Structure 1
Amino acid sequence: MRADDVSLQSLIGSETAADPAFVFDGTPVSRAEFSRKVEQAAAWLAAQGIGKGDVVAVWLVNRIEWIALLFAAARLGAVVAAVNTRYRSAEVSHLLKVSGARLMVVEAAFRTIDFAAILADITRSDVPALQKLAVIGADAITAHWPCVRFDAFDKPYPPAPLPQGDVDLPVLLYTTSGTTKGPKLVAHSQRTLATHAVSVANALKLDRQRHALLAMLPFCGTFGMTSLLGFIGAGATVHVLDAFEAAPALTILSEHKITHTFGSDEMFRRILALTDAPRPLPHLEVCGFAAFQPGWRELATEAQARGLQLFGLYGSSEVQALFSISRASDVFADRIEGGGWPMSQQAKVRVRDTETGDFVAQGVSGEIEISAPSRFLGYFNNPEATRDAITADGFFHTGDIGRLRGDGSFVYETRAGDAMRLGGFLVAPGEIEDELKSCVGVADAQVVAVDLKGHARCVAFVIPARDSNQEPPLQEALVARLRERLAGYKIPARVYIVDAFPVTDSANGVKIQRARLRAMAMERIAAE
């Protein structure tokens, strides 16, 4: 395969593709128009001094500017760092610092998100590489940094230099949590993105004239971006929601006879709740879903009864979303399980015993390891974490537990370790714990996930500082502080003050009994 075949630009080069390429809020964008916007965005980036190897942070909702900037960066050899719109100051600051972004493209405003207030809580000395902000729809958003208006589509700029993007260098950075304080940055190249997009289009047997996607997941995450690129590569039309809301999603699914969409179990639950029609979406062929909330099996059963087929799938930032998906020929119980068949015929999945390190036979649970063309390059600016994540023979340690079926498919069972799935995102407890420990009056903190009224939420246990002059922190004050610093889904549902954490002495040191903390949390909630 030639280098040109695995560039992002190659995904939009088909002359027989459907038009429009995109529909944003009812406004169609043809493929030719999108190509022009990519050229305009590339010229604009070059005028801002962005070139090969420079990082541009993109803090936008789903809009045409987001996609154009990614393809434009690829043309210049620059790198896009995707910023979650639900992030707050601590998270944005961490991403900017680790990525070394020189420029950030940001919304002026969107619904209730106060971008200016979030930026005001970030110290310039913490992110020394950031030189300026480019604002969508406004000339400035803050006095902290020099601001320019993003006017790439409104004002002519000198054409960008000839394409110089190396398809094997980083072009897109996703954030992901592990066991570290802040999110790591997962680096993907044009090759890993484009080859996986083609694999998705081929595995789903997408027909550019017959199939259409409703993109209702954020582009800043691999789930939203992978499905988007797969349909761009297939030459099919993509209808886009700037941010998910059930009512407009249902309207687009119905009126435009959408055939494919992907989302969380909660998204599909909200969509179904808006209609009592026995078969509300007869044209919808594939609903790929990730199960994050309790009761997802019951949801899948209800959806099936109403003619809506949910397909379990698997993915991660490191191997990309839609790495695998179940098949229509699977029996219902198997089809809704996470896992399935890899999209790429070149992908390999194996399972290793977490205690012995030996590979296990089919049907035996262990840690899932993956080798595939969709595998990431590594963690950006973090070679140590990269070495720990990839085996000597090139397999990625997923940190997930599952088993092989023996027919080429596999089953995802649960997440290994203590990482929490909150609001559809994988969150390291240490990220929230460190924010709590930075609060006045807090000596130590531990955070665990619990099932609270059918939703995954986190609960914090705090040991107050022993300073005789310091009053114990009020739970309300701690929660208020976290709301300023973190995304809403990371805010603890409860904060409990304790004298000590339950621990176990072992040969490797004292270990906190996180299972006991979870039990304590449920006991206290039940008592309330």
Structure 2
Amino acid sequence: MPLAQPAADVWTLVADVAGQTPDAPALTHGGRTVSFLELTESARRAAQGLADLGVGPGDRVALWLPNVPAYPILYLACIRLGAIAVAVNTRYRAVEVADIVGRSGAKVLACAPGFRRIDFLSILADIEPDALDRLAAIVTVGDEPASVPSAIARLRRVPYERLLSRPRLGLNNARASAPCNIFTTSGTTSAPKFVLHRQGAIASHAQQVARAFGFTAPDTLSLSILPLCGVYGFDQTMATLAAGKPCVLVESYEIDEIARLIADHRPTTLFGSDDLYARLLDAVPGDRPFPSVKWAGYAAFNASLDDIAETAEKRGLRLCGLYGMSEVQALYSLQPIDSDVAHRKKGGGVPTSPLGHVRVRDPETGELLGVGQPGMLECAGPSLMVGYYGNDAATAETVTADGYVRTGDLAELDGRGGFTFLSRMGDVLRLSGFLVNPLEIETHLQKLPSIAGCQAIAVPRPDGVRAVAFVILSPGATLDEAAAIAHCRQGLANYKVPVRVFAVDDFPRTPSANGFKIQRARLRDMALERL
């Protein structure tokens, strides 16, 4: 059975499953099923094809692909070669793609220029022709369009199918210590950093998640909705494969299509954001719209959906809060599935690995804090990154001398062996000497029917640091700023009351693999401009 022994590296992780259950389904996509044996055999052929292009140990291969079988096959090909797969966010545009490919020094870029659901072709057309000159080749997945942008027209292009026609690579450079993944951070104020992981960390984490999340159950089937280019979607899929169970790859984020796939395939587990579940519950009627789903992991990104876990519970969908980030991998922790919904809906939880450990530190004094005291979260365990690729200074700032990652998140120990995530430290407001989670202000303002969305930030004023709120109004509503501030005075401590409330059409955002993140630094600049 899979998971009987710890896998030293990623290739062993998947190949062991293929050896024990070769005909078991690994991936399903568009009516086609790929068995575990076909997955590993295709990866060995693709590895030979990449080797023909000059890819070897330590070389970088950029994967700019949607959730299609070519992604995990090319990833495992990199693993076999000892190469590093660079995840390129499918939401990125021309400048961002060129930056990631260039700074990582990628030798090969795999993309799908003819893919219809994401307009890769127009993005490629906007890339400066010389920005990709360091590439040895571009691997094109799917049919190549008749008109090819100049950025790639003069580069060597190799059809993905040609890679699969090559003989199987006999050499195996997979090692526990071999670097294998680069994920990009979704920074809102600077170029993304490159988070580097090694094979041993990826393999062991996948096995730990499979055990802790119950993926070893005989009926397990995952719906891989989240992009494989992000650590959240990647780790879900790898943990499912580690358990020897199938994944349905979802290339579209259209809610109707996702709902159809849930009905057709009856997955036992889902992972997504609060927004995803809210839209799914709106789209699918009935008292129990998703009866096959035992429980669903979710990340809370939208303060206006604070009650989504209770809403889902009433309709038979059990949501469980999680915690993760690129530096410690996704699914680092999970709220106990059998806990009450009020506890289960919170971000954080108990570390997935028995070797995982968290602590909370006062960001100013450096003192370690006890249960219920908010401070900066630090995480340790076998899933941690090697460091930031090409940026030793940033690594030294983030990883402590005793091996903990400084997450930059505000959290508190929960007294149950786990922790509760509160917010990003950079988002925390220090008002009148107190650390204030902006979610408190945002949630309170969103109780007003005229306010559909809210972001609260802090700005310096002559009378001290004060909160300022930016709101998106409900359709047809107008902002009564005085009434909004009075509403806050009635429900919040005086130092939490915003000094001003501004209406905006939308919040400034930056793309990440799982959606968009708010540019809070830009909001602070906007507040200072208006005060």
User: What is the TM-score with the length of structure 2 in the denominator?
Assistant: 0.78
Distance 1:267 1:225 in 2: 17
1:142 is aligned to 149
Distance 2:86 2:373 in 1: 38
- Count how many residue pairs are aligned between Structure 1 and Structure 2: 451
Asked if structure 2 preserves the Cα contact closer than 8 Å seen for 1:105 and 1:136, the reply is yes
1:355 pairs with 2:364 = yes
Distance 1:267 1:364 in 2: 31
Distance 1:139 1:249 in 2: 27
2:41 is aligned to 36
Asked if structure 2 preserves the Cα contact closer than 8 Å seen for 1:8 and 1:193, the reply is no
1:3 CA displacement: 9.1
Q: Residue by residue, what CA displacement relative to the aligned partner does 1:222-272 show, whole Å, maximum 9, x if unpaired?
A: 000000000000111111111322122222222322110100111111111
Asked if structure 1 preserves the Cα contact closer than 8 Å seen for 2:291 and 2:316, the reply is yes
Q: Give the SS at the match of 2:67.
A: coil
Residues 110 and 294 (structure 1), Cα distance of their counterparts in 2 relative to 1, 3 Å cut: farther
Distance 2:84 2:108 in 1: 11
Distance 2:315 2:218 in 1: 26
Distance 2:275 2:187 in 1: 24
1:97 pairs with 2:106 = no
Residues 277 and 519 (structure 1), Cα distance of their counterparts in 2 relative to 1, 3 Å cut: farther
2:29 is aligned to 24
1:207 CA displacement: 2.7
Asked if structure 2 preserves the Cα contact closer than 8 Å seen for 1:18 and 1:235, the reply is no
Distance 1:311 1:31 in 2: 29
Asked if structure 2 preserves the Cα contact closer than 8 Å seen for 1:79 and 1:170, the reply is yes
Q: Residue by residue, what CA displacement relative to the aligned partner does 1:149-176 show, whole Å, maximum 9, x if unpaired?
A: 3234676324435112332132111110
Distance 1:342 1:155 in 2: 39
Distance 1:174 1:66 in 2: 14
Asked if structure 2 preserves the Cα contact closer than 8 Å seen for 1:11 and 1:194, the reply is no
Distance 2:371 2:518 in 1: 39
1:6 pairs with 2:9 = yes
Distance 2:474 2:393 in 1: 38
Asked if structure 2 preserves the Cα contact closer than 8 Å seen for 1:105 and 1:150, the reply is no
1:441 is aligned to none
| Superposition pairs of residues 49-198 of structure 1, within 5 angstroms | 49-111=54-116, 113-139=118-144, 141-145=148-152, 146-152=155-161, 156-178=165-187, 181-198=190-207
Paired letter, 1:142: P
1:394 CA displacement: 0.7
1:10 CA displacement: 1.8
Instruction: Give % identity.
Output: 34
Residues 328 and 24 (structure 1), Cα distance of their counterparts in 2 relative to 1, 3 Å cut: same
1:195 CA displacement: 0.5
Distance 1:153 1:353 in 2: 56
Distance 1:229 1:84 in 2: 18
1:139 CA displacement: 4.9
Residues 333 and 195 (structure 1), Cα distance of their counterparts in 2 relative to 1, 3 Å cut: same
1:418 CA displacement: 5.0
Asked if structure 1 preserves the Cα contact closer than 8 Å seen for 2:7 and 2:203, the reply is no
1:335 pairs with 2:348 = no
2:472 to 445, 452, 456: 452
1:476 is aligned to none
Asked if structure 2 preserves the Cα contact closer than 8 Å seen for 1:18 and 1:209, the reply is no
Distance 1:180 1:169 in 2: 31
1:39 CA displacement: 1.1
User: What is the TM-score with the length of structure 1 in the denominator?
Assistant: 0.79
Q: Out of 326-335 and 293-302, give the one that drifted further.
A: 293-302
Distance 1:449 1:17 in 2: 56
Asked if structure 2 preserves the Cα contact closer than 8 Å seen for 1:47 and 1:157, the reply is no
Q: Residue by residue, what CA displacement relative to the aligned partner does 1:485-515 show, whole Å, maximum 9, x if unpaired?
A: 988976999xxxxxxxxxxxxxxxxxx9965
Distance 1:210 1:71 in 2: 25
Residues 11 and 183 (structure 1), Cα distance of their counterparts in 2 relative to 1, 3 Å cut: same
1:325 is aligned to 334
1:148 CA displacement: 1.7
Distance 1:343 1:306 in 2: 27
Distance 2:35 2:264 in 1: 20
1:225 pairs with 2:234 = yes
Asked if structure 1 preserves the Cα contact closer than 8 Å seen for 2:53 and 2:136, the reply is no
1:385 pairs with 2:385 = no
1:503 is aligned to none
Distance 1:98 1:256 in 2: 40
1:52 CA displacement: 1.1
Residues 124 and 269 (structure 1), Cα distance of their counterparts in 2 relative to 1, 3 Å cut: same
Paired letter, 1:361: G
RMSD value over aligned CA atoms? 3.1
Distance 1:410 1:285 in 2: 24
Distance 1:492 1:10 in 2: 37
1:21 CA displacement: 1.2
Distance 1:245 1:519 in 2: 38
Q: Out of 16-25 and 181-190, give the one that drifted further.
A: 16-25
Q: Out of 169-178 and 118-127, give the one that drifted further.
A: 118-127
Asked if structure 1 preserves the Cα contact closer than 8 Å seen for 2:132 and 2:151, the reply is no
Segments of 5+ residues of structure 2 without an aligned counterpart are: 429-467, 476-505
1:202 is aligned to 211
Q: Out of 80-89 and 119-128, give the one that drifted further.
A: 119-128
